[in-house]
């Protein structure tokens, strides 16, 4: 993956950059470690802003990681205190992105391994299912559990989501799962480029 370059932030589908090539999107509950994971997988320190401020991240951020290849930072969900209109804006923006984006080949979902799959994560996963995209779960903050507990948790979550979804324990602190996550991105981008050939 070459060094990412920020392309633009979009508040509405009309602002999305041209829909060609391949892209992989990151999505997750707020505070699940999405920005941290994106920065680490992309290999740069401050690509996605690590922020906890509710309502300030309702933008879709696009980063180029090579010729016709992009990483996309989708706004986080699950803030308890945001007004309904913000939630609606999130849903409309994400739905528009996920269902219409032809260049989208895969989605990485960040899930705090201690919380496991929450109702909102579950809704997102069900909703992604029929779209035919590759899906990978990063079980973040694995360093916060003892090794045995983290492994047990991963197994539990794997059983729950079934075989169509890939997953790995992930830690920004000790870099667990970084190679796996990068492997997904490389493979998804390549596989689709190959199958799209005439
Ligand atoms: P986002 O809201 O989903 O983008 O989450 P952030 O990336 O901003 O992370 C939320 C908080 O969790 C921050 O304080 C991070 O430093 C912390 N965090 C993220 N990933 C890890 C991790 O792997 N291990 C630990 N211990 N903390 C993490």
In a domain, 197, yes or no: no
In a domain, 179, yes or no: yes
CATH number assigned to the domain comprising residue 48: 3.40.50.300
Q: What does the mean pLDDT of the chain come to? A: 88
Residue having the nearest C-alpha atom to atom 21 of ligand 1: 141
Q: Is the pLDDT of residue 25 over 60?
A: yes
Q: Give the chain's domain count.
A: 1
Mean pLDDT of 121-125: 93
Task: Give the position, in ligand 1's atom list, of the atom nearest the Cα of 38.
Answer: 7
In a domain, 171, yes or no: yes
- The answer to whether position 29 is within a domain reads yes
Q: Is residue 31 part of a domain?
A: yes
The pTM assigned to this predicted structure is 0.92
Q: 31 CA distance to ligand 1 centroid (A)?
A: 6
Evaluate if residue 52 carries a pLDDT over 90: no
pLDDT, one tens digit per residue, over 138-161 is 999 999 999 999 999 999 999 999
- Atom number in ligand 1 closest to CA 51: 8
Residue 33: which of 78, 68, 70, 65 has the closest Cα?
78
Give the residue numbers spanning the domain of 32.
5-192
Q: Which of 106, 105, 53 is nearest to 81 (CA)?
A: 53
Tell the burial category of 87 from Cβ atoms under 10 Å away from its Cβ (0-12, 13-18, 19+). middle
pLDDT tens, position by position, 179-198? 999 999 999 998 644 454 44
Atom 6 of ligand 1, residue of closest alpha carbon: 33
């Amino acid at each position: 993956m070459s060094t990412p370059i920020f392309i633009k932030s979009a508040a509405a589908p009309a602002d999305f950059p041209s829909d060609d090539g391949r892209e992989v999107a990151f999505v997750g509950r707020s505070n699940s470690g999405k920005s941290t994971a994106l920065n680490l997988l992309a290999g740069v320190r401050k690509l996605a802003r690590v922020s906890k401020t509710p309502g300030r991240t309702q933008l879709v951020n696009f980063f180029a990681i090579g010729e016709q290849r992009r990483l996309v930072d989708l706004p986080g969900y699950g803030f308890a205190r945001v007004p309904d209109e913000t939630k609606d804006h999130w849903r409309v923006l994400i739905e528009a992105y996920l269902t219409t984006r032809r260049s989208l080949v895969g989605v990485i979902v960040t899930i705090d391994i201690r919380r496991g799959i929450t109702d909102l994560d579950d809704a997102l996963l069900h909703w992604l299912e029929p779209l035919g995209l590759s899906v990978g779960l990063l079980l973040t903050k694995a360093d916060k559990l003892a090794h045995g507990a983290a492994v047990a948790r991963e197994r539990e979550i794997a059983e729950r989501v079934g075989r169509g979804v890939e997953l790995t324990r992930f830690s920004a602190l000790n870099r667990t799962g970084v190679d796996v996550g990068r492997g997904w991105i490389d493979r998804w981008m390549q596989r689709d480029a190959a199958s799209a050939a005439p």
